[in-house]
Amino acid sequence: MSLWNKAKKAKTSTPEQSINTSRQNLNELVLKSIHEGVIIVGPNGNIRLANPAFCELSGRSLAELDDVFYDSVINLLDKTGNRISEGRNPINIALKNKEYGEVRDLDIVAADSNKNTPVSIIITPTHEENPNLIVTFRDIAQELKEERERSEFISTASHEMRTPVASIEGYLGLAMNPSTATVDERGMEFLTKAHEASQHLGRLFQDLLDTTKLDDGQIKARLEPVDVIALVKSIADGQIPNITAKGLGYQFGSGSVDQQLSGGKRIDQLIYASIDPDFLREVINNLIENAVKYTPTGWVTVNVRADNYNVQIIVEDTGIGVAREELSHIFQKFYRVDNRDTREIGGTGLGLYLVKQRVEAMNGRIWAESEIGKGTRFICLFPRISEEAYKQQRFYIDNQQAQGRENIDF
């Protein structure tokens, strides 16, 4: 029975109860009036409460949604129009890991009219041992349309501007080169500044182009089965010169979560996942570059951990940290934390946006944990695959490549 139905059954009340009741009425009024669809999902996955906006999005009546398993009444499609698997369902994920979750790349289909609505889904678990999940669905059709238009504009503009900037950078390089030009010390100082600024602009345009290409689906992840520890280690080790040049320490670690729990005993094991190695390279390089940039002294640590279901790649530093209220924003396009510590450090505010896009394109999730002055930890989570699945998929891909055919994504 839904909480609303239960509330309606209460008949006589004390004054204290009536204050509570009127509060409850107000709560109900809010839930009934807002445009966002809201449901509460119990720890067993059954819907305990739904508001009218959700009824409209899902095309179901309150009675149809009352105390039924969420997956039997909520039809979510991915961007290719296919119903998402249980493993990708954000409600299923939150029921398992009891953590906050946010996705905006799914459509909900109304059962009565078959209407598809692109939605942003935010899942907040309550603070209980077996939490209920508060799930909100926001219609983002208009938002996506505007984003597409903005994206088209940015893509064209950055494409057009990249060429003259490359030319400016090239000529400045020639002017600074003693074998092609003669400039005095002051002139060299100005040229160096202009050269740095043009390089920054070039990077910005490239980041913008990459962003819009992924936004438009022009670049797609090509997933293939990989040995995660070996791949992450080789990418991270490539950043050692960068890390040590700033005088920071570097550590790489691996192992399973279970091993950590069983007193830190390490048994080396192989961890596999379906990943696009080029995307992962960009993700890890970006996270390590940030770790170096925002860490004045201390360590950069990269870890690979796994349990039976998931693989976690963790990039951690002992740097300046990010304030709690900023953490949920740092993955947004152009967002840069603006304070005394960050103002001097250059950047475009696009790196983490690109990182998140790439992680999600590989069916993963990324989030950050941080404490000001102590450091920041970025955690990327991907579904783990078994050794058997790895071998089968690898065999298939190697065969395809030997015959010169295109890979299929895993």
Give the residues lining the site for ligand ADP (CB under 6 A).
Answer: 290-291, 294, 317, 319-322, 330, 335-337, 342, 347-353, 376
Q: Least separation, in Å, of the C-beta of 324 and ligand ADP?
A: 13
What is the b/e burial string over 158-172, where b = at least 16 CB atoms within 10 angstroms of the residue's CB? beeebeebeebbeeb
Q: CA triplet 241, 243, 249: central angle to 5 degrees?
A: 115
Which residue in the shown chain puts its C-beta closest to ligand ADP?
A: 347
Q: Least separation, in Å, of the C-beta of 46 and ligand ADP?
A: 39
Which CB atom, from 224 or from 316, has the smaller least distance to ligand ADP? 316
* Chain CA centroid to CA 28, Å: 33
Q: Least separation, in Å, of the C-beta of 103 and ligand ADP?
A: 20
Which CB atom, from 331 or from 410, has the smaller least distance to ligand ADP? 331
Which CB atom, from 258 or from 282, has the smaller least distance to ligand ADP? 282
Q: DSSP 3-state assignment of 34?
A: coil
Cα separation, 334 vs 352, in Å, equals 9
Q: CA triplet 330, 333, 335: central angle to 5 degrees?
A: 45
Q: Least separation, in Å, of the C-beta of 61 and ligand ADP?
A: 44
Task: Look up residue 358 and give its two tokens.
Answer: 């790439």
Which CB atom, from 90 or from 351, has the smaller least distance to ligand ADP? 351
Which CB atom, from 76 or from 320, has the smaller least distance to ligand ADP? 320
Q: Least separation, in Å, of the C-beta of 326 and ligand ADP?
A: 7
Which CB atom, from 71 or from 102, has the smaller least distance to ligand ADP? 102
Q: Least separation, in Å, of the C-beta of 60 and ligand ADP?
A: 39
Which CB atom, from 51 or from 318, has the smaller least distance to ligand ADP? 318
Q: Least separation, in Å, of the C-beta of 166 and ligand ADP?
A: 20
Which CB atom, from 172 or from 337, has the smaller least distance to ligand ADP? 337
Q: Least separation, in Å, of the C-beta of 271 and ligand ADP?
A: 24
Q: What is the DSSP letter of 38?
A: E
Residue 376 contacts residue 319 (beta carbons within 8 Å): yes
Q: Least separation, in Å, of the C-beta of 333 and ligand ADP?
A: 8
Helix (H) or strand (E) holding 139: strand 133-139
Q: Least separation, in Å, of the C-beta of 98 and ligand ADP?
A: 26
- The amino acid at residue 122 is I
Task: Look up residue 287 and give its two tokens.
Answer: 């996270």
Cα separation, 228 vs 287, in Å, equals 17
The secondary structure of 310-368 as a DSSP string is: EEEEEEEE-SS---HHHHTTTTSTT----SHHHHTS---S-HHHHHHHHHHHTT-EEEE
Which CB atom, from 298 or from 349, has the smaller least distance to ligand ADP? 349
Name which of 216, 327, 236 is nearest 280 in CA terms. Answer: 236
First to last CA, the chain: 41
Residue 249 contacts residue 224 (beta carbons within 8 Å): no
Which CB atom, from 272 or from 331, has the smaller least distance to ligand ADP? 331
Residue 122 contacts residue 102 (beta carbons within 8 Å): yes
- The amino acid at residue 320 is I
Residue 253 contacts residue 316 (beta carbons within 8 Å): no
Which phi-psi region, left, alpha or beta, contains residue 236 (left: φ > 0; alpha: ψ -120 to 50)?
A: alpha
